[in-house]
Structure 1
Amino acid sequence: MERSPSADDLDIPEDYRGVVREQREALWRLVDRARAAARADDPRGLRELAEEIRSRIEQGDDRALGNLTPHLADLVAALDVLYDAAFPAGRGDDVTALLAAPWPTAHRKALLAAFLGCDVRHRLQLDEVADRAVAATDTRLLGVLIRTPLGTLRRETVARILDALHRAGALEADLVERAVTDDPYLGLALAGRSPTDEATGPSLACRDAVRTHVDALTWRLVSAPEPPDWDALPKGPAPRGLRFVQAALAWQGDPRVARHLGAAELTDEERTALPDLLRDRSPEEQRRAFGWRRRAGDADALLPLFGLEGAGPLLRLIRAMPDGVTRQDRAALLAAVEDAGADTARRLLEHEPNELVSAALGENRAQVLKRVRHHSLQGIAAFGMLPLAAHETVLDRYLALRDSAKKGALLGPNRRHSHAAAIAVALDHLAQVAGAPDAARLEWDCEARLAEEAPTEAEAGPYRIALRFDGADPVLTVSRAGRTLKSVPAAVRADPGYQELRRHQGRLREQARRMRTGLVERLVATAGTLAPDEPDRLRSLPAGAAMLPALLWRDRAGTIGLLDEVDTTGPVTAVHPVELHERGLLAHWQQQLVRRRLRQPVKQAFRELYLLTPAEHEAGDVSWRFAGQTVDGKVAAQLLSGRGWSTHGEYDDHQATRTVGGGLVAALACEFNGYFGMGEVRVGGLRFLAGGPSAPGRRGAAAGPDSAGSPVPLADVPPVAFSEAMRDLDLVVSVAGTVPEAYQSPAQAVGRAQLLAALVADLGLARVAVEGHTAVVRGTRATYRVQLTSGSIHVEPAGHLCVVPASFGTTAHRRLFLPFADEDRMTSIILSKVLLLAEDEQITDPSILTQLASLTAAAGPDS
């Protein structure tokens, strides 16, 4: 076969032509050697050369930044001919023989694709073949699967193959070395860990045997005259033996290799000998070794080297802190500092920096404050841990955290979740600083102080300024000579007293918002419970006094009623409409709220309700209720984030997840390119998962994160959790849908029908009836059917009444009462239309009257 033109003649960027030309020449020399081996009938030499060629291509392509592989068609074709002749494929159904060749020729790949029943252009996955081989203990095929260059295997599958070979007594060193060379992170899968050190399952029985072979390979690599690249080194559990620490001390290559070797697993005897090994080393080497042993978890053995013998408990406490932002016991930290001595503790922190411990000592206040301004999550947690400064009160710190929380709400969808979690940890730490029993008690005690300490009146010359409450809303009024002014004079706006009241008004308004969207919404959405002393404590706040009495509660005896109607000497639980539905009380309480003109702070009795359908019950563990809907990714991500969901990338098992309580996670599958927010998103199935996280990797590809957990049958999901997750998705599809008119929420229509039915009963509207998702209005001019999903109006017998929202229905009808404070403009518009049509004799809009005249005339006198 003739060789193709040289690299100078190829379409290659000029900077890489030399590299490509050099690599092609080297590869053709290897092809010539393979031809010689074939003529000499040397299959072993051909296998070794195939390995060398594949390695050379991979390394060369890295050097040429991907510009080599596209220009190797002539060379690959020559190798295909050579290896097909030297290793005949045989029958296409003999998978062992098919996979046993050392070079992945095009002919062999086509046969393998046919055997697997897939397109040859796709990735040839061998996991099912491996599963059958493991079940049959086919050690020959298992060995071939490890060595074959055809097809790919998931990391977990390779681990199971090695485990099966170990159980069969057929685990050979070359197989282990081949496996970990292909996937340096394989050892983590054997230990039941992911590359991010998350648990994925139990350790496999072959782990120790594999580690012995891996240790030998690692030692051979680091002892070679040419130091290995970091990428070539196995990344599984650390190697075993003091010799690796000694090698790390002498290492001159990549520092990542030194860190890996220096964290080698040691026996008790080796750990005891380590300080003697380091005693005569330079301080810099000792500090470096201390860092390695921190990773290994036994750095306390080196504390005597630095005169820190008493700091062991504090070091172990620091090392026990999990990654991420988590609550820490401030008293335990300070006790460990006291045991070590403050000076010793500070010197330990030079070796083992820890922001939280430094914050507990008050050593890093300036750095922490700077990090809070930059929204550092650890910095926020540490801010709560700082001792109070001179002239700083707990309320000052609390308000600073609340200010940070407001700024965090403006961050990206997932970042705002982690920021809010860091604020929660900081509040817990502040509660410890303040001596409060918990963060919730601290929070509402601070809120109560905020309300109590707020000035309520001021004077500015002849003007009197007053701060009063209209329900939960703080209202500022200005009067003169007993007469309330409609606008605030400039002189009053400039007055310090007025400005201070304005600031307090803003804080109290923010307090009410937090209580409504935070505490109250959470109580209703989760059917949450308040302890016996909490209702009175919360009602001491203006917002609490306005909101809690309007909610429905269940006491310990099972009685349901408003707060003043149930027994609050025991715990009380916010009632979810699921429970009202199950007890046959939903319509009763809906009518009661309308009759009593009670406006609930959030939707409760009229909350959209989502019950398991027969189809979902039959489907088992997945709901397809919203599948196939296409939404705007950016809008959908914002809506999901605001309801506690986290969004993930397209290659995750699930693309949106939210913890729903009871150890369950709602997990939504979607289809899109890249990440949420990059374009349109197609909604898929919703599952509820139970169990821990997992992060399986793939042979030949980087490990991707997984949502994790085993699906739970929908019938076993708590009805409240199911309903709330469905409510979130209904909102997303309704608001973020790319074709809004293509989806009308049945649940929202049911809610409007229920509200209209309650209004009809309360107002005695004889002309209005509710029929499914339609309101039938028998007016004096015509009979109308108003769709409770879209608000469209149909005039019987056949005609559409077109209205202009600017002049009809945008302002709530005078008789309309919405028994909830949630903003629901569409419901207000639709129900206002119904009420206005029930009084159609009062309509004066010329456009509407002209249409009605035309429609009724066309219908004829007998219609």
Structure 2
Amino acid sequence: MDIPEIYIDVVREQREALWRLVDQARVLAKAGDLAGLRDTAEEIRLRIEQGDDQTIGNLAPHLGDIVSELDDLYDTSFPVDRPDDVTGLLDAPWPTAHRKSLLAASLGSDVRHRQLLDEIAEQAIAAADIHLLRVLVFTPLGTLRRESVAQILDTLHRAGGLDATVVERAFTDDRYLGYAIIGHSPNGDATSPPLTCADTVRNHVDALTWRLVSAPAPADWDELPKVLVPRGLRFAHAALSWHGDQRVADHLGAAELTDEERTALLDLLRDRPVEEQRRAFEWRLRAGDADTLLPLFGLERAAALLRLIRAMPVGEATRQNRAVLLAAIEDAGADAARRLLELEPNELVSAVIGGNRAQVVKRVKHNALQGIAAFGMLPLAPDETVLDRYLALRESAKKGAKLGPNRRHSHAAAIAVALDHLAQVAGVAEASRLEWDCEARIATTTPTESEVGDYRIALRFDGADPTMTVSRAGKALKSPPATVRADPAYQVLREHQERLRDQARRMRTGLVERLVATAGTLTPDELARLLSLPAGAAMLPALLWRDRAGVIDLLDHVDTTGPVTAVHPVELHGRGVLADWQAEIVRRRLRQPVKQAFRELYVLTPAEREAGDVSRRFAGQTVNGRMAGQLLSGRGWFTHGEYDDHQATRIVGDGLIAALRCDFHGYFGMGDVLVGEVRFLISGHRDPGRYGAPTGSGSVGGTPVPLVDVSPVVFSEVMRDLDLVVSVAGTGPEAYLSPAQAASRAQVLAALIADLGPARVTVEGHSAVVRGTRATYRVHLTSGSIHVEPGGYLCVVPASFGAAAHRRLFLPFADEDRMTSIILSKVLLLAEDEKISDPSILTQLDSLTGTAATRRRPAGETRILTATEDE
């Protein structure tokens, strides 16, 4: 293997240094100095490791002669007495080829691979084998997971066998071992309580760190233990005079201090240059006690404001209390507040003061989440109204809907925070009240009529949809003339129409869908505000509601003087009135704004009840990752990487998180995804005991909840999300046929049959049976496939089939559900099969039934009858 030219000299120098150490080892071996041989082996091991890092892997491949010499020397000095003694095999300072071969045989592993010692460590921990535990820390013959090393140190601590040499060796091998000691992940999340050895370990690590940084040739950053913050003023003092790597100074300067040490640091800094004071202030910001140093800058009164700034999560758009911030700014004084923001910049606090308007507006245009949150907090400009700011946020929200899956969620959350901040600026108690007050202004403040010459323009509502008409002399025109379209009054009404359409769309897909999906409740005031909007007046009366007396009916027939709750079909099913209400909805020809009475319903299966806290209903289904990620995102799910505990999660309310496990490589969207099991986990903001889990065991995402304890509404909606994903994004060799979707279509068809009375159609399971004049057909209510009895499939795929619903089809919901329209239109078409004139269909029927179908068209004339045509 050739060495890159830039590393040739380094490799030569490292080899020369290593041969000198080999010579040293020969002398020690001849003298029988086993302790010296151990120290030399460690020195050699560290030099090889550092040299290989320095040459990007170009040193180790050129050390074969040196390693061979060391193997012979250490096999002679540390012979293997018993190959079956794992402790004896591991208790050697150099990993000779002979020992590695014996260890691999003992472990039943391939000698060419790393020898994993975690199982041996578990056994030693269980047996409290102090000697073996120490050997495991020092041995160079295998590897341990970070968590295993931490548990070894904890076991040694409890047994009184934890000393500086063990701790220092452990942290020399893994300088980030502190994560496992204090129970944190590298991204800062708590994974477990700190180990009992934590304080003792920190004492030894402090001593090691001080020795390294106070040596005549101080250690560099890569040699220092990480994670564990050093303790004591000596470290902060050393940071001020540090001239090496800035990362070392930052680590030392953020040392943990006592109250007395903080006071001493303040006194120490009083006469220091301003640059040093600012640098120390930055270190103490990281440590969390920078308010101690505020007197250096004449900012004693700004301590409360600094604490508020430091309490804000970094990199997140979170709701802040404007009144509290304003009070802290007033206490500090406007000038002091600005000077503090120079020391510790904060976009949102600057926005409260109004000092960064241009920057915030620019950041909103670039979809910066914290910029959006700060935008809501800006004081209103002299020429700006609350409605102007609200509309600007709504425009930003529309841009956010086009972002990637997870980014779309965080953007929507930032908009919600900004609306809350705007409500505080406007002096409105709740963001929801501000939102619907602004929506009411949109609907009522702009004129709905205008005149342009002889033409009259009017904005009217067809249900929730605003339509614009142009008339002349009382006669409506099919389209507005060019002179009208060019008039500013027409443009104003067009813009108002688009705002009202957006309002209706937001209400249907946001508020109304959420009310039904969560069985949400409205107070009388909230209901009145929504009904004052054209969209609300059109949509809400078509839903089923339950009043405080428990009465379920349409809005006009329940008591609205108290709170009313949107009914989820789970409740109708539980009361045994689901089919009755479905028939009534169809009979009254009510088109519900979202699926409610005919919503797909998912209840616990016997297998899920038996499984306890896990559902495998969709396990084994393969889906397109990109499409599945988009579908999940649109329903409030976050997707995660392949190595996370769960690959998709959704907050479902009441302190629960729905968690889905999947198998894929990389991240959601890279390729196909194999769907796994679903659980509901306690999110950490509630009492776990309420759900049958031991109190105190509910770390975030850690405690599964028995499925029988999950709200039936929550369970049904989560399964509905996943059913949609595997139905639409499925890539398996056989298409997934959703039983719930088939059942929903069967319910619609059953209600239509009862209403229209087509005696030829019945519903049997997941199929519609149509007894036509030419044949009997079975139409599958999920796939839409048509089976002609006694055998054979009928292909009905005209070019425009399903573009619009069959003339007799009424869908009792406004959701876009083209497949339901297509399937049910097929059923109604076949119920009138005597009217079919499509030659391709008739030819198939001739073949399948063995009879010649009578054609009503003259010879030579071809006409394709679609399900949308009216004969």
Query: TM class, shorter-chain normalised?
Result: over 0.9
Query: For residues 318 and 399 of structure 1, do their structure 2 counterparts lie closer, same or farther at Cα, with a shift above 3 Å needed?
Result: same
Alignment pair present for 1:246 and 2:237: yes
Which residue identity does 2:324 align to in structure 1? A
Alignment pair present for 1:846 and 2:846: no
* Same amino acid, percent of matched pairs: 77
**Mapping of 1:694-773 within 5 angstroms?**
708-739=701-732, 741-773=734-766
SS of structure 1 residue aligned to 2:850: helix
Which residue identity does 1:392 align to in structure 2? E
> 1:535: Cα distance to partner?
1.0
**Mapping of 1:368-383 within 5 angstroms?**
368-383=360-375
Aligned residues: 839
Aligned to 1:829: 822
| More displaced 10-residue stretch of structure 1: 603-612 or 53-62 | 53-62
Aligned to 1:342: 334
Q: 1:654·1:707 contact (CA, 8 Å) conserved in 2?
A: no
CA deviations over 1:512-559 (Å, ceiling 9, x no partner): 111111111111112222223211111111111111111122222222
| More displaced 10-residue stretch of structure 1: 435-444 or 294-303 | 294-303
Which residue identity does 2:777 align to in structure 1? Y
Query: For residues 853 and 112 of structure 1, do their structure 2 counterparts lie closer, same or farther at Cα, with a shift above 3 Å needed?
Result: same
SS of structure 2 residue aligned to 1:533: helix
| More displaced 10-residue stretch of structure 1: 418-427 or 180-189 | 180-189
SS of structure 2 residue aligned to 1:305: helix
Query: For residues 519 and 216 of structure 1, do their structure 2 counterparts lie closer, same or farther at Cα, with a shift above 3 Å needed?
Result: same
Aligned to 2:805: 812
> 1:834: Cα distance to partner?
0.4
Query: For residues 558 and 76 of structure 1, do their structure 2 counterparts lie closer, same or farther at Cα, with a shift above 3 Å needed?
Result: farther
> 1:26: Cα distance to partner?
4.2
Query: For residues 516 and 254 of structure 1, do their structure 2 counterparts lie closer, same or farther at Cα, with a shift above 3 Å needed?
Result: same
Aligned to 1:412: 404
> 1:18: Cα distance to partner?
4.4
Q: 1:610·1:722 contact (CA, 8 Å) conserved in 2?
A: yes
CA deviations over 1:705-729 (Å, ceiling 9, x no partner): x984222222322222222222111
Aligned to 2:196: 205
Which residue identity does 1:300 align to in structure 2? D
Which residue identity does 2:456 align to in structure 1? R
Query: For residues 219 and 595 of structure 1, do their structure 2 counterparts lie closer, same or farther at Cα, with a shift above 3 Å needed?
Result: same
**Mapping of 1:76-225 within 5 angstroms?**
76=67, 79-80=70-71, 82-88=73-79, 94-105=85-96, 108-109=99-100, 112=103, 124-225=115-216
- Between the aligned partners of 1:269 and 1:224, the Cα distance in structure 2 is 27
| More displaced 10-residue stretch of structure 1: 57-66 or 573-582 | 57-66
> 1:62: Cα distance to partner?
2.3
CA deviations over 1:744-791 (Å, ceiling 9, x no partner): 212111111111111111111211111111111100000001111211
Query: For residues 807 and 134 of structure 1, do their structure 2 counterparts lie closer, same or farther at Cα, with a shift above 3 Å needed?
Result: same
> 1:207: Cα distance to partner?
1.7
1:313 aligns with one of 277, 280, 304: 304
Q: 1:652·1:707 contact (CA, 8 Å) conserved in 2?
A: no
- Between the aligned partners of 1:18 and 1:774, the Cα distance in structure 2 is 79
Which residue identity does 1:228 align to in structure 2? A
- Between the aligned partners of 1:120 and 1:600, the Cα distance in structure 2 is 68
> 1:582: Cα distance to partner?
1.7
Query: For residues 127 and 590 of structure 1, do their structure 2 counterparts lie closer, same or farther at Cα, with a shift above 3 Å needed?
Result: farther
Q: 1:653·1:707 contact (CA, 8 Å) conserved in 2?
A: no
Q: 1:657·1:707 contact (CA, 8 Å) conserved in 2?
A: no
Alignment pair present for 1:598 and 2:597: no
Q: 1:798·1:859 contact (CA, 8 Å) conserved in 2?
A: no
> 1:609: Cα distance to partner?
1.5
Query: For residues 342 and 140 of structure 1, do their structure 2 counterparts lie closer, same or farther at Cα, with a shift above 3 Å needed?
Result: same
Aligned to 2:550: 558
- Between the aligned partners of 1:384 and 1:813, the Cα distance in structure 2 is 48
CA deviations over 1:468-500 (Å, ceiling 9, x no partner): 111111112222222222223222221111111
2:474 aligns with one of 482, 495, 501: 482
Please give the root-mean-square deviation of Cα atoms over the aligned residues, in Å.
2.4
Aligned to 1:6: none
- Between the aligned partners of 1:292 and 1:553, the Cα distance in structure 2 is 58
> 1:52: Cα distance to partner?
2.7
Query: For residues 318 and 474 of structure 1, do their structure 2 counterparts lie closer, same or farther at Cα, with a shift above 3 Å needed?
Result: same
> 1:851: Cα distance to partner?
1.2
> 1:105: Cα distance to partner?
4.6
Aligned to 1:702: none
Query: For residues 491 and 22 of structure 1, do their structure 2 counterparts lie closer, same or farther at Cα, with a shift above 3 Å needed?
Result: farther
Which residue identity does 1:199 align to in structure 2? A
Aligned to 2:494: 502
Query: For residues 264 and 713 of structure 1, do their structure 2 counterparts lie closer, same or farther at Cα, with a shift above 3 Å needed?
Result: same
- Between the aligned partners of 1:78 and 1:810, the Cα distance in structure 2 is 81
Aligned to 1:4: none
- Between the aligned partners of 2:604 and 2:72, the Cα distance in structure 1 is 61
TM-score, normalization: structure 1?
0.93
Which structure exhibits the higher relative contact order, with contacts defined as CA atoms closer than 8 Å and separated by 6 or more residues? Answer: 1
> 1:859: Cα distance to partner?
11
Which residue identity does 1:531 align to in structure 2? T
SS of structure 2 residue aligned to 1:742: coil
Q: 1:263·1:292 contact (CA, 8 Å) conserved in 2?
A: yes
| More displaced 10-residue stretch of structure 1: 107-116 or 527-536 | 107-116
SS of structure 2 residue aligned to 1:581: helix
> 1:312: Cα distance to partner?
1.7
Structure 1, gaps ≥5 residues long = 1-9, 694-705
SS of structure 2 residue aligned to 1:659: strand
Aligned to 1:663: 655
- Between the aligned partners of 1:707 and 1:122, the Cα distance in structure 2 is 36
Alignment pair present for 1:690 and 2:699: no
- Between the aligned partners of 2:461 and 2:16, the Cα distance in structure 1 is 85
TM-score, normalization: structure 2?
0.92
- Between the aligned partners of 2:12 and 2:141, the Cα distance in structure 1 is 27
- Between the aligned partners of 2:648 and 2:236, the Cα distance in structure 1 is 44
SS of structure 2 residue aligned to 1:516: helix
Aligned to 2:324: 332
- Between the aligned partners of 2:599 and 2:113, the Cα distance in structure 1 is 48
Q: 1:380·1:426 contact (CA, 8 Å) conserved in 2?
A: yes
Which residue identity does 2:131 align to in structure 1? R
Q: 1:594·1:758 contact (CA, 8 Å) conserved in 2?
A: yes
Aligned to 1:654: 646
Query: For residues 766 and 73 of structure 1, do their structure 2 counterparts lie closer, same or farther at Cα, with a shift above 3 Å needed?
Result: farther
Q: 1:239·1:265 contact (CA, 8 Å) conserved in 2?
A: yes
Alignment pair present for 1:393 and 2:393: no
> 1:258: Cα distance to partner?
0.9
Q: 1:774·1:786 contact (CA, 8 Å) conserved in 2?
A: yes
Query: For residues 516 and 86 of structure 1, do their structure 2 counterparts lie closer, same or farther at Cα, with a shift above 3 Å needed?
Result: farther
Alignment pair present for 1:428 and 2:420: yes
> 1:90: Cα distance to partner?
5.5
> 1:833: Cα distance to partner?
0.2
Q: 1:797·1:859 contact (CA, 8 Å) conserved in 2?
A: no
SS of structure 2 residue aligned to 1:200: coil
- Between the aligned partners of 1:648 and 1:564, the Cα distance in structure 2 is 45
SS of structure 2 residue aligned to 1:51: helix
Query: For residues 604 and 99 of structure 1, do their structure 2 counterparts lie closer, same or farther at Cα, with a shift above 3 Å needed?
Result: farther
Aligned to 2:40: 49
| More displaced 10-residue stretch of structure 1: 650-659 or 191-200 | 191-200
Query: For residues 788 and 36 of structure 1, do their structure 2 counterparts lie closer, same or farther at Cα, with a shift above 3 Å needed?
Result: farther
> 1:201: Cα distance to partner?
2.9
Which residue identity does 2:406 align to in structure 1? N
1:60 aligns with one of 48, 51, 73: 51
CA deviations over 1:7-32 (Å, ceiling 9, x no partner): xxx24444444444544554455455
CA deviations over 1:45-101 (Å, ceiling 9, x no partner): 333333333323332232222344455566556555554554445556543333323
Aligned to 2:858: none
- Between the aligned partners of 1:558 and 1:108, the Cα distance in structure 2 is 77
| More displaced 10-residue stretch of structure 1: 255-264 or 156-165 | 156-165
Query: For residues 225 and 686 of structure 1, do their structure 2 counterparts lie closer, same or farther at Cα, with a shift above 3 Å needed?
Result: same
Q: 1:808·1:833 contact (CA, 8 Å) conserved in 2?
A: no
2:784 aligns with one of 791, 801, 807: 791
